[in-house]
Structure 1
Amino acid sequence: MSGIYAGQMAGDEHASSEAGPGAVVPSFSDLTALPDLSHDRARAGPVRERRPVYVDLLPPCNAGCPAGENIQAWLAHAAAGRHEQAWRQLVADNPLAAIHGRVCYHPCENVCNRGHLDSSVSIHSVERFLGDLACERGWRFEAPAPTGKRVLVVGAGPSGLSAAYHLARLGHQVEVRDAGAAPGGMMRYGIPSYRLPREVLDAELDRIAAMGVVFTCGHRVEDLAAERDEGDFDAVFVAVGAHLAKRVDIPVRDAATMVDAVSFLRDVASGESPAIGKHVAVYGGGNTAMDAARVARRLGAQDAVIVYRRTRVQMPAHEQEAEDAEREGVRINWLRTVNAFDGPELRVEVMELDESGYPRPTGRFETLAADTLIMALGQVTESAFMRTLPGVQFDGDGSVRVTESMMTGCPGVFAGGDMVPGERTVTVGVGHGKRAARNIDAWLRGDSGLRPAKHPTATFDALHLWYFGDAARRRQPELEPAARVENFREVVGGLTAEQATYEANRCLSCGNCFECDGCLGACPENAVIKLGMGHRYKFDYDKCTGCAVCFDQCPVHAIEMFPEPR
């Protein structure tokens, strides 16, 4: 008996005479009356009205990944040091881990719940570590049994490569045809090597080719209907990139040098060194404009200036791209439009925002020094080769209309990536390729291709943050700005194995049990049963009172309280 209760009983003046000589009986007349536990409404009692259930919610990082990666799952493997398992979990959705760890704009990190606590998990840096490790150790994809079906993929960019990979994993024979001299599309010819080294790109492509995917390069598809028939292909996926530069009428003197950014970047990627002079202007505000300006600096331009008609907030370029450009000495002139180019002078008009936030001309002009003007006003798709296909519909910009399954109006012909309306990034393209591959496989098998609905997303306010301590984000090493513009060396370095493991362990495991044993230790009725490592727990409802202590203890909202079935 505890000292507190012993003292109360010994000092009680109302001991019963019926208890025998020397006996002391406590009186509880000074305590609060016992509650009626037969009408439990919220917590516990003999009549349980709620029961705990283990649930799986969708982590916001998974929900925000355009490639559809199960980020939380591969982070868990990486956190435990199971690097090959982490990589294999990752490439179940995305075959280009080393590439994505470098060029993806990681929207997953923008929605990471950890960002509300201190800073988001550096998902892309762990992904890069795993991808680089796979290249270093020669990990390969497994080839399944063949189905006997043949699929043609047109375009060897991100979307086409993703589709080819997933189709091959499903057992189909795949041929990829591309007009370029080597596969990779915009990853090879549009993204500079200081962001994506070519040896990394080639290592990822070699792994896909080792699965039996056939690459036919230097082959421009002119008539898709004819090539499908001649090759006896059962289905087609079209993923030609948006390589045609948009045009705008600008008065230009004959001697002035004006090029489009797509051609400029392609020439440099192919090993050429265009003569651009000391002063270069880039017209546009997207990521391509930033790359063109940064490449110009590496080619010797003393001054590289970006001319953009809107404000910084309205600029479509990713914020990190613009910051990197400015750190490398690129100037950005906001609210300016090009009026005329008479090299070495560029005439621009000053703009002002009206009440609706739209830029309007002011009639005021400025003159900038420019030996070369690089046009980076966006690209359009090339889809004329699909005009002979019956049922295919096009939008005004040449993009192809597709259904939810990514099939065009022509049976068996699917399209994705830059070919269809939507955001044009490597990650979006890879996601399109995976989705198309699964739907092509379903169509070839005569299946609907419908996939189960996703779980609700685990929100930050549902987490119990007392469980988690502060853990600062690990930063990747970077070259100093002055050293960057001297060559095309990779600007951003990778994490060490120790750093990658630490960063992966910062994941909060939102909405999914990671076996912390909190519910097991907190349950007052021993109603939680541990099923063994990797198998989580189950509830013994014969013991459970519905007190919700386990719910309160779960740090990641992997337990939900549901009304008791009646």
Structure 2
Amino acid sequence: MRVSDQQRDLTPLAPLGLGRLRSGPVRSQRPVYVDLLPPCNAGCPAGENIQAWLAHVKAGDHEAAWRQLTLDNPFPAIHGRVCYHPCETACNRADLDGAVSIHGVERFLGDLAIERGWQFEAPATRTGHRVLVIGSGPSGLSAAYHLARQGHDVVVRDNGPAPGGMMRYGIPAYRLPRHVLDAEIDRLVRLGVRFEQDHRVTDLEAERLEGGFDAVFVAVGAHLSKRVDIPNMDAGRVLDAVTFLRGVETGEQQPLHGTVAVYGGGNTAMDAARVARRVGADESVIVYRRSREQMPAHEEEAEDAEAEGIRINWLRTIQDMGEGELTVEVQELDEHGRPHGTGTYETLAADTVILALGQESDTAFLRDVAGVEFDDDVVKVAPSTLMTGAPGIFAGGDAVPSQRTVTIGVGHGKRAARSIDAWLHSEEFVKEPRHDIIHSDRLNLWYFGDHDRRQQPELDPAARIAAFEEVVSGLSEQEAGFEAGRCLSCGNCFECDGCFGACPEDAIIKLGKGLRYEFDYAKCTGCGTCYRQCPVHAIEMVAESEFTRSESTQPVLTQPVLTQPELTQVDATDSVERG
């Protein structure tokens, strides 16, 4: 039988075990371990490293989890109750069997810390710098915390009788019990933050000079209610929602009777309607000019209100008020989704009307400060630093154009504290770059199996309206651990040993618990088996052309694709544009 020329030119492989070099395919790519940005971290306005503290809970080290969490957010017991958890909306586990109950685990850690008396560690050194924080709401408290941990002396001045801002005077106790709020603020006092309540700032420059403050952070809340002119308003009892909720908190609000109509469609409107039932109203109704899909309130807020028997009248506007009743006009949406009147009118019973049409920030004291510019009631700031046009004066939370939530306010406080610290040291704060966010289509979800989310118990709706008892209960230790275990560790190795066991060339070296693995590139053929099986996409295949050989035996990646683990955190909201 004749051998072809092609066959004749082939050099046969040496038998195995003879110690000779064998010819084979040239490696064109190699695996590299990476740390990508999980979507929960990317979605957190407070910039928490959620994946990291969930891992500590999964390991059973609750205090380590709390300390990891509070590096970014000092108020886990508060946020576990009032945050609308955009991290869960982003969670990749939702594409499998349901998002991880991140807020439930956060609340568990916060409550456990209160129970066990965990405190923040004091800074090792003091800087000698003094910073004034105006406003003791979430943004001001967050800034005070981070500034204090950086070693600065911090004074918080606020015109309310007790600190907390809208967390105390706007969020009802059935959502945020006051002992929880007080406990989390008390840690700041123990850290050295000084609070001066019932102090209204009127002349900022004078206070800054007299107090020897090197920088100022303005974090006043949106406490001023917007008004609307309704014909015959004097014929009925009219309250504004902010004043009403504040009066309930301070005990100044008289009981309500009969039917209460709340005009508005935001979260404040939902709270006002629910609180009205708890202070004596026989019935609460909500009147809102747009559709359910267009309401600014979060859907869960509307659902909770409806569960308590509150009727929401969508696409209605109040046209007139009479003794014990309202005239409302039915609206309809045009092709652009804008409501307009139809000429059809209805009559609703209403002994009291509560206006919840939005709030404005109390920033009038800044009008005379040179360099500070305004956009209506809010202050213009540099988005990256939150500094106003006046050197050393920063602003955040409700005082700047932004969505007005507790978590965004806390994120602004952290960002401002970093910027203030850099400014005080005559440095420029450079924000870390955003990195590749890992989504579920790049994960091997089959690896994890189905494990349903644990639900938090809730009071029966009929029992809720009788008092201000907390409606939603927390997770148990076992349930919190189970939820932490549901985390997919998206984009970050969790040492499952999959790559170690799958490599056909034994080219993966296991470094020990917590140290992960490394590749032995002398053995690696670049087959990609480790990459294809990795459940969390913690391995990337990189072309050989991206590497060069150094004097050592380890290859050097010329264009790194690795992101450092500490960069898996995301700063407070990237934009302060109005939501």
What is the match of residue 346 of structure 1? 326
User: CA 1:36–1:399 in structure 2 vs 1: closer, same or farther (change >3 Å)?
Assistant: farther
Q: Retained in 1: the 8 A contact 2:134–2:156?
A: yes
What is the match of residue 131 of structure 1? 110
1:47 positional shift:
1.0
What is the match of residue 58 of structure 1? 37
> Could you tell me which of 25, 41, 46 is aligned with 1:67?
46
Q: Distance in 2 between matches of 1:345 and 1:402?
A: 48
1:255 positional shift:
4.6
> Could you tell me which of 208, 231, 239 is aligned with 2:211?
231
Alignment of 1:75-474 (within 5 A): 75-144=54-123, 145-474=125-454
Q: Retained in 2: the 8 A contact 1:343–1:372?
A: no
Residue 346 of structure 1 aligns with an amino acid whose one-letter code is L
Q: Retained in 2: the 8 A contact 1:282–1:292?
A: yes
Match of 1:409, SS state, is coil
What is the match of residue 19 of structure 2? none
Q: Retained in 1: the 8 A contact 2:136–2:156?
A: yes
Match of 1:210, SS state, is helix
Over residues 422-443 of structure 1, what are the superposed CA-to-partner deviations in whole Å (9 max), with x where a residue is unaligned?
A: 1000000000000000010011
Alignment of 1:495-506 (within 5 A): 495-506=475-486
Residue 555 of structure 1 aligns with an amino acid whose one-letter code is P
- Percent identity reads 69
User: CA 1:561–1:484 in structure 2 vs 1: closer, same or farther (change >3 Å)?
Assistant: same
Q: Distance in 2 between matches of 1:386 and 1:134?
A: 38
Q: Retained in 1: the 8 A contact 2:381–2:394?
A: no
1:278 positional shift:
1.3
**Which of 340-349 and 396-405 deviates more?**
396-405
Residue 90 of structure 2 aligns with an amino acid whose one-letter code is V
What is the match of residue 522 of structure 1? 502
Aligned pair count reads: 528
1:397 positional shift:
3.3
User: CA 1:199–1:547 in structure 2 vs 1: closer, same or farther (change >3 Å)?
Assistant: same
What is the match of residue 562 of structure 2? none
What is the match of residue 558 of structure 1? 538
Q: Distance in 2 between matches of 1:277 and 1:255?
A: 17
Q: Retained in 2: the 8 A contact 1:394–1:401?
A: no
* Larger of the two Rg values belongs to structure: 1
Q: Retained in 1: the 8 A contact 2:379–2:388?
A: no
Match of 1:78, SS state, is helix
Gaps of at least 5 residues in structure 1 are 1-13, 15-33, 38-43
Residue 537 of structure 1 aligns with an amino acid whose one-letter code is Y
TM-score (norm 2): 0.89
Over residues 385-439 of structure 1, what are the superposed CA-to-partner deviations in whole Å (9 max), with x where a residue is unaligned?
A: 1122111110023443334210000000000000000100000000000000001
Q: Distance in 1 between matches of 2:492 and 2:179?
A: 37
Gaps of at least 5 residues in structure 2 are 2-9, 14-22, 549-579
What is the match of residue 571 of structure 2? none
Residue 97 of structure 2 aligns with an amino acid whose one-letter code is D
How large is the Cα RMSD of the aligned pairs? 1.6
Q: Distance in 2 between matches of 1:546 and 1:101?
A: 45
1:36 positional shift:
12
TM-score (norm 1): 0.91
1:291 positional shift:
0.1
**Which of 246-255 and 450-459 deviates more?**
246-255
Residue 347 of structure 2 aligns with an amino acid whose one-letter code is T
Q: Retained in 2: the 8 A contact 1:282–1:375?
A: yes
What is the match of residue 561 of structure 2? none
Q: Distance in 2 between matches of 1:341 and 1:262?
A: 21
1:275 positional shift:
3.4
Match of 2:530, SS state, is helix
Q: Retained in 2: the 8 A contact 1:417–1:428?
A: yes
Residue 51 of structure 1 aligns with an amino acid whose one-letter code is R
1:254 positional shift:
3.0
Q: Which runs of 4 or more aligned residues in structure 1 lie more than 4 Å from their structure 2 counterparts after TM superposition?
A: 34-37
Q: Retained in 2: the 8 A contact 1:142–1:211?
A: yes
Q: Distance in 1 between matches of 2:258 and 2:460?
A: 22
Q: Retained in 2: the 8 A contact 1:395–1:401?
A: no
Residue 486 of structure 2 aligns with an amino acid whose one-letter code is R
